[in-house]
Structure 1
Amino acid sequence: MLNTFSSRSPGTASPAEPSILANRGSCENTVSEREPKKGVLALSEAVQGLLRCPNCRSGLIFQSGCLCCASRLCGMQFPVVDGVPVLINDHNSLFAREDFVAGKNTTFDLSRRRFVRRLDRLLPTLGRNVKAKRNYQAFAELLLKPSSNPVVLIIGGSILGCGLEALAQQPKIQLTETDVSFGPRTQLICDAHDLPFENNSFDGVVVQAVLQYLVEPSRCIREVERVLKPCGLVYAESAFMQQVVHGRYDFTRFTHLGLRRLFRGFEEVGSGPVCGPGMALAWSCQFFLLSLATSRWMRRVMRVIGRLTLFWLKYFDAALIDRPGTYDAASGFFFLGKKSDKVLSDRELVTLYRRAQ
């Protein structure tokens, strides 16, 4: 995020309302409010053993308050900030380790005043994720079938994603929550393009509301395949009919087939819309209002007007979400799949199109 992207957004620096597809809650803590861990890593010992250098994938050694690459040819050193390792390869990322050491905002604006966040919560939202909770319950059930204590990597996990309570409340499922931003749940800072873990490490990976914010989503998915165990599970959500909501870090949108092609190395368990055309229409109207604004205060007024007058459109999605026409008009899609040796061909892909009746 990862946020990802994670993925998938709390108070971001973007000019629009935070993405409801991500709707992972609001980030209550700023970097300065984080309670120091006094040198103890936020990750479990088992997960610490899976960590690898994001540059060369050699092992890491904890010394002098840093994680150091064990390879003499590489020799990279990675800081630990309040117990959170910062495993960023500066040469291959939009972000730099120093940004996190200095407490700078990256993808999220963590300096928003608390009363502003509380006021924001009082306003009705324009989006509704219709299927996330149900999908995560299915994901949890699948994880627990082959393993009594599955370990799940969350990309974009600085805050709890919409529906993720179904995993977080499972005592047998261990979550490893990563992001490119500090947050109340961040255990590790890393870039989704270079996941700092050993091959075949995780039983499951979650990429909720993150892929649209990545420069190279396909590279992230290759990394997901690498760190997943054989027959490991992935759950992803990504935006389709949705405007730019993450400012400079907003790059891509996916149709239903576009998202399926991204995961062509996985056997599909389920896929489809999670946020429907009602949400998409509400967002379009909101951004029309925002386009009329010529100053920051006018944008704030238009945003409030939009949320107070357009929120009701999202309630249509409960009835529309499974209709064929929604596949051409949804605000966002999900994919649930299992790591496979077979790759879906493009000819097979196009036969999966669900035509509107």
Structure 2
Amino acid sequence: MVLAELDMIRPLLVCPCCRADLRADPGGLRCTAPDCVYHASPGFPDAAGWPVLVDFAHSVVDREALDSPASSPDVRRGADALPAPLRRIVKPPNLVAARNIDLLLRALPGPAPTLLVVGGATVGHGVGAVYRDARVRVIGFDIVTSPATQFVADAHRIPLRTAGVDAVLVQAVLEHVLDPVQVVAEIHRVLKDDGLVYAETPFLQQVHAGAHDFTRYTASGHRYLFRRFEEIAAGAVSGPGTQLLWSVDHLVRGLTRNALAGRATRAALRWLRALDRLVPPDFAQDDASALYFLGRKRDREMTEAEIIAYYRGAQVSS
């Protein structure tokens, strides 16, 4: 795994509250703005060696809980918690992500582009090429510590300079934030001109992270969320067959009051995923389990008329 050294990315870091420069003190990082609440030393604590750059007054992250790693919220559950052989059965490789990540990597400029992974506590499905490309400087953060991240932060207030990165990867994260519009605005802010974003977000999926699961998007809603980006590619990550598999899994969980029984049923019926290949893209858009968007930063915002005309589904207005 290739991650940028913290010392290399430190010049990009700013205060999440006021975006002023940070200063390294023996006790940790603090804001250099005298009137900022995080100016007093230490302004930002460490958690197991990871800088915690969070505006705690406006975040779900609990400052006191960070002192106890076991109490940190875990938004990666379900299939991700299974052993690797079982995980591959329940959650097979994401070929759509792999294809789109290849497009993104080929479009990145220069010899050493910087790519930010929002919510990068675990390496997402199908995006491993990002971490294997030696020319890409990967920056990752999440609300928990992880070997795949360099600092802890809240995506609503990304502690990076404006126009500081070449690309952003945000996979299976936007459903877990309180205000996706604000998070996407932050992604737009930290991207350089013509910077790239790749996002995957659920449409028809059951709750999968308890208290840390908030939002779902249709294809049109997902496109409008990224309305300040030019579309390069968009569509279904997984279609109606996968969506049906999710539903059967959770139906069995409800009937048996047992999550393991649901996962076992999902594994037994994994062939339902193959049905995705038989559904045309317009029908799949209306009944997708999850959606993706690959786009390029622009200043012009999509209009209300444009998003109505954007609809590509199978339903025809009468």
- Give the alignment's TM-score, normalised by structure 1: 0.80
| 1:140 aligns to 2:99 (yes or no) | no
Q: Paired residue for 1:59, among 3, 13, 21?
A: 21
Question: How far has the Cα of 1:72 moved from its partner?
Answer: 1.6
| 1:196 aligns to 2:159 (yes or no) | yes
Q: Matches of 1:65 and 1:42 in 2, distance apart?
A: 23
* SS state at 1:231 partner: strand
Q: Paired residue for 1:92, among 50, 58, 79?
A: 58
1:205 corresponding residue in structure 2: 168
| 1:337 aligns to 2:295 (yes or no) | yes
Contact 1:78 1:97 in 2 (8 A): no
Which consecutive residues of structure 2, in runs of 5 or more, have no partner in the other structure?
none
Q: What is the aligned length?
A: 307
Q: Matches of 1:111 and 1:242 in 2, distance apart?
A: 14
Cα–Cα, structure 1 residues 110 and 264, in superposed 2: closer, same or farther, change >3 Å? closer
Q: Paired residue for 1:238, among 174, 198, 201?
A: 201
Q: Paired residue for 2:90, among 125, 143, 157?
A: 125
Amino acid at match of 1:89: D
Alignment of 1:309-320 (within 5 A): 309-320=268-279
2:232 corresponding residue in structure 1: 269
Q: Matches of 1:162 and 1:338 in 2, distance apart?
A: 22
Q: Matches of 2:308 and 2:213 in 1, distance apart?
A: 27
Question: How far has the Cα of 1:208 moved from its partner?
Answer: 0.6
| 1:74 aligns to 2:39 (yes or no) | no
Cα–Cα, structure 1 residues 75 and 323, in superposed 2: closer, same or farther, change >3 Å? closer
Q: Which string of whole-angstrom CA distances, capped at 9 and with x for unpartnered residues, describes residues 101-132 of structure 1?
A: 221433317999xxx84388368205663401
Which consecutive residues of structure 1, in runs of 5 or more, have no partner in the other structure?
1-40
2:305 corresponding residue in structure 1: 347
1:5 corresponding residue in structure 2: none
* SS state at 2:14 partner: coil
Cα–Cα, structure 1 residues 67 and 315, in superposed 2: closer, same or farther, change >3 Å? same
Percent identical among aligned pairs is 35
Amino acid at match of 2:173: V
Q: Paired residue for 1:302, among 252, 261, 266?
A: 261
Question: How far has the Cα of 1:65 moved from its partner?
Answer: 3.4
Q: Matches of 1:342 and 1:109 in 2, distance apart?
A: 34
Cα–Cα, structure 1 residues 344 and 148, in superposed 2: closer, same or farther, change >3 Å? same
- Give the alignment's TM-score, normalised by structure 2: 0.90
* Highest RCO, 1 vs 2 (Cα 8 Å, sep ≥ 6): 1
Q: Matches of 1:123 and 1:150 in 2, distance apart?
A: 31
Contact 2:143 2:153 in 1 (8 A): yes
Contact 2:242 2:289 in 1 (8 A): yes
* SS state at 2:121 partner: coil
Cα–Cα, structure 1 residues 109 and 157, in superposed 2: closer, same or farther, change >3 Å? closer
Cα–Cα, structure 1 residues 117 and 127, in superposed 2: closer, same or farther, change >3 Å? closer
Cα–Cα, structure 1 residues 310 and 255, in superposed 2: closer, same or farther, change >3 Å? same
Amino acid at match of 2:97: A
* SS state at 2:69 partner: coil
Q: Matches of 1:111 and 1:269 in 2, distance apart?
A: 31
Contact 1:136 1:166 in 2 (8 A): yes
Amino acid at match of 1:328: D
Cα–Cα, structure 1 residues 243 and 46, in superposed 2: closer, same or farther, change >3 Å? same
